[in-house]
Amino acid sequence: MLDLRFVRENPELVKQNIKNKFQDTKLPLVDEVIELDARSRATQKEADDLRASRNKLSKEIGMLMGQGKKEEAEAVKAQVSAGAARLAALEEREAQLSEKILKIMMTIPNIIDPTVPIGRDDSENVEVQRYGDPVVPEFEIPYHTEIMERFNGIDLDAARRVAGNGFYYLMGDIARLHSSVISYARDFMIDRGFTYCVPPFMIRSNVVTGVMSFAEMDAMMYKIEGEDLYLIGTSEHSMIGKFIDTITPEAQLPQTLTSYSPCFRKEKGAHGIEERGVYRIHQFEKQEMIVVCKPEESPMWYDRLWQNTVDLFRTLDIPVRTLECCSGDLADLKVKSVDVEAWSPRQQKYFEVGSCSNLGDAQARRLRIRVQGEEGSKYLAHTLNNTVAAPPRMLIAFLENNLQADGSVRIPAALRPYMGGKEVMVPVK
């Protein structure tokens, strides 16, 4: 969310940013919120003047009563009563205007970084760099669920009977591989200096609206019926929420945390052949990383975060690339974002396995996450997040890139301690 004063002083810049994100329907909101803000400030000034007058008159009443001038005091009381009715009306108008302003400000997108490429949607994202050589083996790579079935490692039919489409049972070596990847990702981030955390898996509505846009919320979040609670779509929501209404001394920054959680998503609009299996599902587990830092340090942390994911995948012999998200593919709160995509030998293309985002002070403004400087001044922190690893989608990349011609799956050295020392997984059928 932008600073209202910034919008008031830079309306054309805000409008151009909206155009760059191809959200032209939001352009009238800029003038509307500026006009509402002018009315709100005029209303507040009149109300403040009335409050000052009331305080002055109240002192006058006390003085007159002390002098025994009851009639004069009653006349002044009448003035106070008349002003009270007007003040009540003004305070009601203040609340109404504030609500309208906040609703609009929550929908005006954040100012994107100047380096973000301009484009309408993810088809115009820009490849930045590749890491590792993508290989297409001479033998055929089956669909990922077929690989898992050879290990008796997945049961989608039972999951469908129990919970419906978009759920799964993982079993045996595949389930162990899933847990091993999560554990390895956890230790990988701890070794890089991040503090491990297991957060609440449900959050209140004020946290939801603090960490994401309304459009994202509607498309992703499951609400707990009858309660002010939502299941998290990623632990980033809960982890950033941890800092709501806090003032952190500057000396305690940056806060670097890595968190484990299950994730729950509606996945509205999911379709197509690659939505089968466990590629796009309603429930999965993820290791995440978040940073709360000083504004001037967020670009540095942004680069370090996505590099962590690249490094992790390369230790598992999975080729990846980074993809700069264009303006139209950025969620409204994001300043800059890069996707990490893994190589799929079966599809002979890359697919998304993680996303790193710098949100500037947008989440901090909504959640009132502040920093106290050494000289006592207070300012908004910057927040960032990135996926470390999100199986089972990561398992697709792992299985395809480590599959051998005989149907076995090679276990890279980094993961073997988590797999009981196994060097290879052998299919049972």
CA distances from 280 to 180, 265, 267, 352 (A): 21, 9, 7, 11
**Backbone dihedral region of 204: left (phi > 0), alpha (psi from -120 to 50 degrees) or beta?**
beta
pLDDT for 201 equals 97
pLDDT for 273 equals 39
Question: How far apart are alpha carbons 32 and 25 in whole angstroms?
Answer: 13
- Is residue 385 part of an annotated ligand binding site? yes
Residue 209: is its pLDDT beyond 80?
yes
Question: How far apart are alpha carbons 29 and 15 in whole angstroms?
Answer: 9
To the nearest whole number, what is the mean pLDDT of the chain?
92
Which range among 20-34, 68-82, 159-173, 375-389 shows the weakest confidence by mean pLDDT?
Answer: 68-82
**Backbone dihedral region of 407: left (phi > 0), alpha (psi from -120 to 50 degrees) or beta?**
left
Question: How far apart are alpha carbons 408 and 68 in whole angstroms?
Answer: 101
Q: What string of DSSP letters covers 335-396?
A: SEEEEEEEEETTTTEEEEEEEEEE-TTHHHHHHTEEEE-TTS-EEE-EEEEEEEE-TTHHHH
- Is residue 103 part of an annotated ligand binding site? no
Indicate the fold that domain 122-425 takes in CATH. BirA Bifunctional Protein; domain 2 (3.30.930)
E-strand stretches of 20-91: none
**Residues written for the chain:** 429
Which range among 75-89, 309-323, 392-406 shows the weakest confidence by mean pLDDT?
Answer: 75-89
Q: Amino acid letter at 337?
A: S
The model's pLDDT over 93-111, given as tens digits with 9 standing for 90+, comes to 999 999 999 999 999 999 9
Residue limits of CATH 3.30.930.10 in the chain: 122-425
Cβ-Cβ contacts under 8 Å for 47 (sequence gap 6 or more): 87, 90, 91, 94
pLDDT for 155 equals 95
- Give strand pairing partners of 197: 259
Question: How far apart are alpha carbons 18 and 259 in whole angstroms?
Answer: 33
pLDDT band at 280 (very low <50, low <70, confident <90, very high): confident
Q: Is the model more confident about 393 or about 306?
A: 306
Q: What is the pTM of this model?
A: 0.90
Rounded mean pLDDT, 74-78: 65
Q: Would you state the structure tokens that stand for residue 5, as one six-digit string?
A: 């004063």
Cβ-Cβ contacts under 8 Å for 255 (sequence gap 6 or more): 243, 248, 290, 291, 292, 293
**Backbone dihedral region of 306: left (phi > 0), alpha (psi from -120 to 50 degrees) or beta?**
alpha
Rounded mean pLDDT, 127-153: 96
- Is residue 267 part of an annotated ligand binding site? yes
Rounded mean pLDDT, 263-281: 70
Residue 131 in 3-state DSSP? strand
Tell how strand 255-264 and strand 195-197 pair up. Answer: parallel
Residue identified by tokens 């151009």 is 16
Cβ-Cβ contacts under 8 Å for 200 (sequence gap 6 or more): 232, 238
Rounded mean pLDDT, 148-170: 94
The model's pLDDT over 407-429, given as tens digits with 9 standing for 90+, comes to 999 999 999 999 999 999 999 98
256 touches 308 (CB < 8 A): no
Which range among 75-89, 140-154, 198-212, 273-287 shows the weakest confidence by mean pLDDT?
Answer: 75-89
Residue identified by tokens 């990490």 is 340
Indicate the fold that domain 4-106 takes in CATH. Helix Hairpins (1.10.287)
CA distances from 419 to 146, 155, 424 (A): 21, 21, 10
The model's pLDDT over 234-269, given as tens digits with 9 standing for 90+, comes to 999 999 999 999 999 999 999 999 999 999 998 765
pLDDT for 320 equals 98
- Give strand pairing partners of 336: 358
Question: How far apart are alpha carbons 170 and 391 in whole angstroms?
Answer: 11
Residue identified by tokens 């290879």 is 424
Residue identified by tokens 């980094």 is 414
Cβ-Cβ contacts under 8 Å for 179 (sequence gap 6 or more): 418
Residue 124: is its pLDDT beyond 80?
yes
Cβ-Cβ contacts under 8 Å for 49 (sequence gap 6 or more): none
Question: How far apart are alpha carbons 274 and 164 in whole angstroms?
Answer: 18
Where do the H-state alpha helices sit in 203-289?
Answer: 205-211, 214-220, 235-241
pLDDT for 83 equals 67
Residue limits of CATH 1.10.287.40 in the chain: 4-106
Largest CA distance in the chain: 106
- Is residue 265 part of an annotated ligand binding site? yes
Q: Would you state the structure tokens that stand for residue 301, as one six-digit string?
A: 């942390």
Which range among 65-69, 80-84, 383-387 shows the weakest confidence by mean pLDDT?
Answer: 80-84
